[in-house]
């Protein structure tokens, strides 16, 4: 059985969104073991890098190529934030988190609608 890479990347974006926010009461990072968080961060970061380096840079003039570049950069950034302990993160990255989450949410919704329409 073949799962399209767009579907895999979309699932990774959703997982990144779920684990990257810091809304109190909904913060899964507090109850998830550190090893699992690092695995999630590595997998979502790898999907982000694939999106940027493999698809996005090969299709820079196409709509989905630009979508891959933007979503891949945000996924990689948020995955790095997910892996780093909060106290070791630079202040500018902590301030950037809400904007990165909003951007990734927009990319995720675009991917979901695009896949649904197929």
The per-residue pLDDT for 88 is 77
The per-residue pLDDT for 65 is 95
For 58, list phi and psi in degrees, rounded to 5: -85, -20
The per-residue pLDDT for 111 is 95
The per-residue pLDDT for 72 is 95
The per-residue pLDDT for 108 is 96
Q: Which residues of the chain have pLDDT under 50?
A: none
CA atoms of 86 and 18, how far apart (whole Å): 16
The per-residue pLDDT for 24 is 72
For 37, list phi and psi in degrees, rounded to 5: -60, -40
CA atoms of 27 and 109, how far apart (whole Å): 21
């Amino acid at each position: 059985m073949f799962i399209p890479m767009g579907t895999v990347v979309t699932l990774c974006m959703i997982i990144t969104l779920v684990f990257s926010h810091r809304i109190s009461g909904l913060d899964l990072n507090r109850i998830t073991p550190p090893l699992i968080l690092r695995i999630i961060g590595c997998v979502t970061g790898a999907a982000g890098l694939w999106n940027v380096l493999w698809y996005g840079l090969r299709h820079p003039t196409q709509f989905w190529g630009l979508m891959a570049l933007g979503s891949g950069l945000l996924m990689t950034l948020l995955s790095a934030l997910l892996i780093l302990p909060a106290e070791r993160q630079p202040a500018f990255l902590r301030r950037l988190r809400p904007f990165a989450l909003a951007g990734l949410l927009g990319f995720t919704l675009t991917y979901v609608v695009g896949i649904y329409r197929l």
